[in-house]
Every structure is written in structure tokens, then in C-alpha cells.
Amino acid sequence: MDLAGRIIVITGAARGLGRGFAEACAKAGAQHIIIGDIRDDLGEEAAAALRAGGTSAEFCHVDLGDADSIAAFAQTIERRHGHIDGLVNNGAIATGIGGKTFEEIDVETWDLVMRVNVRGLWLMVKAFAPLLRRSTLGGRIVNLASDTALWGAPRLLHYVGSKGAVIAMTRSLARELGPDQIAINAIAPGLVLVEATEYVPQERKETYINGRAIQRAQHPDDTVGIIIFLLSKEAGFVTGQTIPVNGGFVFN
């Protein structure tokens, strides 16, 4: 599998799992990688690192909670490139929101999570669909769900609910985008050891390790291979699917 000739947009790629996706796309030969993130400093740094490694890359600011920001992001990419071949909707709010029961979550946090994780993903697909339709290689979208929505993780209802919505939206969008030969799928990672999950209590981390068929911690490298496949030409007839990538903690 390779991504030769493909222009790929990845949100939330300034650090963590998203940056791992960007680096994997570079290794797979992507023609150009666009990092979209709210963190300008880290985004510029990530793009510079890709360029230093010989990959054409750029950073563009985007706030997934702001509809105007998403529209401006897409307009910038359209003006510079005219089309894209792949979109990875990785950006989301996940850090520092867990640990509260459904009765303890405040309305403001609930609305913020839904605005970024659900509405933001919808608006990204809406904004970039015209650019994906112009791909001569076949448009691809990969949405980041979570296995928390498959096993029903407690004390995390707003996040779990948002990722359940991502799974449902992926299925519906597959039917709407199919006539345009755009394949859209979701992956549902388990607890990946990145900066965004450092706050997770050790007890929850051990629950994952002990409950997996492959009993060890999950790292970014465990998750990137499926992204490359779903962005590649080989995945052109795979759409509407949610693929757990969690070492067998849950089976779909």
C-alpha cells in the first residue's frame, strides 16, 4: 500500500496520534500533507519536521468548534491545491474531561464536546466534500471514533456519546458520498498512550491492558497502519465501516 500522488488533510495532527498519522502518511509516499490544528506553534513545528524529512507539507490553522474557521480552512486549501484525495478527521476534545458521572457533567462542557467532536466533523466533511469529488485517485475519508462507544465506557458520557455519533454519521455519509466514489470509514482505537491520555487514571489503563486479547499498552504505531489502508486505492470498495483497533479489547 502507498499513498503516492495523494494530497491528505489531517486535523489535530500537531501532536499525539494525529502527528503519528501524518508521519505514517509521509512514509507511505503521500504527495502533500496538510496539518490542520488549533495549536499554531505545534502545527508549524510538525509540518516543518515533515519537510525536513523530505515530504511536502504545510500547516493551516483551524478551530473545529468554529464554523467560520472550518470554512476558511477549506477555502485556503481549495485556493492552493484545487482538490484533496484524503481527509482524516482526527481532531477532537478528549483531554481532561473524563472521570465525571453523567450527573456531574456540566452543560457547557457537554455542548463544547458535541460542538467540536460531532458538529465539527460534519462541517469538515461538508467543507471538503467538493475538493474530494475532484480527486482523480478516489476520495477517502477516515473518521476517528473510539472503542469507548463500543463497550460503553463509564464516567465519560459526553465523549462516548460524541464518538457514537461519529460511528452513526460515518454510516449515513457512506450512502450519501458513495455515488461520488468517495469511501468513508471510521476507526475505533482503544486507549492509546499519547499526551492526550496522560490524565487517564492508572486503573482504567490497566483495565484496557488486562482486557485485551493482546495484553500490552497501545501505542500510536499500533494504529497508523489501518489509516494508510483506508486512505489507499486498495480501500476503494470499503465504506461505512467502523474498525476497532484496540488489541482485541472489544470485537465489532
* Residue ranges in the chain whose pLDDT is less than 50: none
Q: Which of 21, 73, 128, 159 is catalytic?
A: 159
pTM: 0.96
Q: Which pLDDT does position 111 carry in this prediction?
A: 98
Q: Which pLDDT does position 199 carry in this prediction?
A: 75
Q: Which pLDDT does position 96 carry in this prediction?
A: 84
pLDDT tens per residue across span 218-234: 998 999 999 999 999 99
Measured distance CA(187)–CA(197) in Å, rounded: 17
Q: Which pLDDT does position 177 carry in this prediction?
A: 98
**Listed residue (116, 115, 70, 73) closest to 92, CA to CA:** 116
pLDDT tens per residue across span 117-170: 999 999 999 999 999 999 999 999 999 999 999 999 999 999 999 999 999 999
Q: Which pLDDT does position 195 carry in this prediction?
A: 76
**Has 159 been annotated as catalytic?**
yes
Q: Which pLDDT does position 227 carry in this prediction?
A: 97
Q: Which pLDDT does position 197 carry in this prediction?
A: 78
Q: Which pLDDT does position 15 carry in this prediction?
A: 94
The three cell numbers locating residue 251: 470485537
**Listed residue (123, 131, 4, 156) closest to 77, CA to CA:** 131
What residue ranges define each of the domains in the chain, with the CATH number in brackets? 7-245 (3.40.50.720)
Q: Which pLDDT does position 193 carry in this prediction?
A: 86
